Amino acid sequence: MMRHTPGKIYLIALLLSIVVFIALLVTGITDADESGEPIILFGWMTMPLFVGVLYVAFWLIAYLIYFFVFWPYK
């Protein structure tokens, strides 16, 4: 994968997503607001769940693009 340019891009994208995910957790963006109430999106989804779903969706889309478009062993 490291000798294949799309593979390098794929791995860099996954690494950057990990860095962003950790940064969101460390900065406290996903925590509750000042009053202690959790941040709710769409009426039922907490912010940590939303960030986790985005994280998994990004990895899934990146994998599908790499596997079906740039896979070198077709």
In this structure, which amino acid lies at residue 14?
L
CB 30 within 8 A of CB 51: yes
Looking at residue 58, its pLDDT comes to 96
DSSP track, the chain: -TTSHHHHHHHHHHHHHHHHHHHHHHHTTTS--TTSPPPEETTTEEHHHHHHHHHHHHHHHHHHHIIIII-S--
Average pLDDT across each block of 10 residues of the chain; the chain has 74 residues. List them in order: 90 95 83 80 88 94 94 80
- Residue ranges per structural domain of the chain: 15-70
Residue 72: per-residue pLDDT: 82
